[in-house]
């Protein structure tokens, strides 16, 4: 039964029901490195325009999850569907390879350590993907790159090299570079965790603008203020599974699992009276 069949079957009055608009649907995704079973059957749907924040302890599989859904790592098994391209992982056939290629092009990824080309200028970094991967004419790629650099507040730095700009500026270039490929989904892997505190705000504000414009985003971050203000959902991941998937306020204030509570105790500020924010109505969650 297809998804649309299912929806029609659910419609008891016989009226037409709008089919689900999930941009991302991941079903039972598994990834092992040898005997290390890192993703142990992860499923998620993300609607177009949703912002999902992923939190969890080190080694729980957050980066591996992001890397698998845009095929920087080859998943062991599971089904990944993004914007209508469906990859049945582990099959390795022609259909799988072509879905993999389509999905890669639909995802933009931003890494903790920027991954810019050090020998290319800011604008060359931004046009590289469209020109080299998509074969776009450099004139139109440059025009779009200039608009994107303006959007991330770096018009004045287009001819600088990565070694000449700050970490926060590098990360904003990395965001512009990912957007230059016109992705349908943006994946962020701890985009601010390598930055000095005073540089974090500018990067978060660019991400917030993107969310406001309707970009679908999956963000691994422990910036709880961002999660609370911008995300529609927050997922707690532990030992290769998604343990809780809730509205951010609900997850932070009323975690259901002891493992979630234990983790939040580490990352949420402790109050003077020793209680955690989840016991105080969240009044002291960081901005």
Ligand X SMILES: Nc1ncnc2c1ncn2[C@@H]1O[C@H](COP(=O)(O)OP(=O)(O)OP(=O)(O)O)[C@@H](O)[C@H]1O
Nearer to Mg ion, 81 or 171 (CB): 171
The SS3 call for residue 245 is strand
CB 252 within 8 A of CB 224: yes
**Beta strand residue intervals within the chain, DSSP E:** 22-33, 36-47, 51-55, 77-82, 85-89, 107-110, 185-189, 216-220, 233-238, 241-246
Does position 81 bind ligand X by CB under 6 A?
Answer: no
Residue 189's nearest CA partner among 178, 201, 180 is 178
Among 24, 26, 38, 179, binds ligand X (CB under 6 A): 38
Nearer of residues 57 and 167 to ligand X, judged by Cβ: 57
Shortest Cβ 36–ligand X spacing (Å) = 6
Q: Assess 113 for contact with ligand X (CB under 6 A).
A: no
Of these, 26, 53, 64, 71, which contacts ligand X (CB under 6 A)? 64
Chain-centre distance for alpha carbon 195: 18
What radius of gyration, in Å, describes the C-alpha atoms of the chain?
A: 20
Rule CB under 6 A: choose which of 3, 19, 20, 33 binds ligand X. Answer: 33
- Using CB under 6 A as the binding rule, whether residue 221 contacts ligand X is answered as no
Regarding 216 and contact with ligand X (CB under 6 A), the answer is no
Among 42, 46, 63, 263, binds ligand X (CB under 6 A): 63
Q: Is 35 in the site for ligand X (CB under 6 A)?
A: no
Q: Nearer Cβ to ligand X, position 127 or 263?
A: 263
Give every strand in the sheet of 185-189, ordered side by side: 107-110, 185-189, 216-220, 51-55, 233-238, 241-246
Selected binder of Mg ion within 60, 63, 125, 278 (CB under 5 A)? 63
Query: CA 279, CA 287: separation in Å to the nearest integer?
Result: 18
36 binds ligand X (CB under 6 A): yes
Q: Which does 58 bind (CB under 5 to 8 A by kind): Mg ion, ligand X, none?
A: ligand X
Site residues (CB under 5 A) for Mg ion, limited to 12-31: none
SS3 assignment, position 215 = coil
Q: Which is nearer to ligand X, 20 or 59 (CB)?
A: 59
Instruction: Fill in the DSSP letter of residue 242.
Output: E
Residues 208-247 that bind Mg ion (CB under 5 A): none
Interface segment toward ligand X; rule CB under 6 A; list 58-66, 113-121, 153-161, 246-254: 58-66
Nearest-approach distance from CB 217 to ligand X, in angstroms? 17
- Bridge-based pairing state of the strands 22-33 and 36-47: antiparallel
Residues with Cβ within 8 Å of residue 182, at least 6 apart in sequence: none
Among 2, 15, 58, 139, binds ligand X (CB under 6 A): 58
Choose, by CB under 6 A, the member of 22, 53, 62, 176 that binds ligand X.
62
Buried residues in 72-93 as b, exposed as e (16+ CB within 10 A): bbebbbbbbbbbebbbbbeeee
Binding residues vs Mg ion (CB under 5 A):
62-63
Binding residues vs ligand X (CB under 6 A):
33, 36, 38, 56, 58-64
């Amino acid at each position: 039964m297809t998804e649309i069949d299912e929806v029609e079957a659910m419609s008891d009055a016989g009226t037409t029901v709008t089919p689900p608009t999930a941009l991302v649907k991941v079903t039972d995704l598994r990834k092992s490195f040898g005997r290390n079973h890192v993703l142990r059957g992860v499923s998620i749907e993300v609607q177009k325009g949703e912002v999902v924040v992923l939190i969890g302890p080190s080694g729980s599989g957050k980066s591996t999850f992001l890397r698998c859904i845009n095929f920087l790592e080859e998943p062991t098994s599971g089904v990944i569907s993004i914007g209508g391209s469906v990859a049945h992982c582990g099959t390795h056939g022609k259909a799988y390879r072509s879905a993999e290629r389509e999905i890669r092009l639909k995802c933009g990824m931003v890494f903790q350590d920027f991954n810019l080309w050090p020998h290319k200028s800011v604008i060359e970094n931004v046009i590289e993907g469209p020109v080299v991967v998509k074969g776009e004419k450099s004139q139109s790629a440059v025009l779009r790159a200039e608009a994107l650099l303006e959007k991330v507040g770096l018009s004045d730095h287009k001819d600088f090299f990565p070694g000449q700009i700050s970490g926060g500026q590098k990360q904003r270039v990395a965001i512009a570079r990912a957007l230059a490929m016109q992705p349908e989904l943006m994946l962020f892997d701890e985009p601010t965790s390598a930055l000095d505190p005073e540089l974090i705000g500018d990067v978060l504000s660019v991400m917030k603008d993107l969310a406001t414009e309707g970009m679908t985003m999956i963000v691994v971050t422990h910036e709880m203020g961002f999660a609370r203000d911008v995300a529609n959902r927050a997922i707690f991941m532990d030992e290769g599974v998604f343990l809780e998937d809730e509205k951010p306020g609900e997850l932070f204030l009323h975690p259901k699992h002891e493992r979630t509570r234990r983790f939040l105790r580490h990352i949420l500020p402790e109050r003077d009276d020793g209680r955690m924010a989840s016991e105080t109505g969240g009044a002291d969650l960081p901005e």
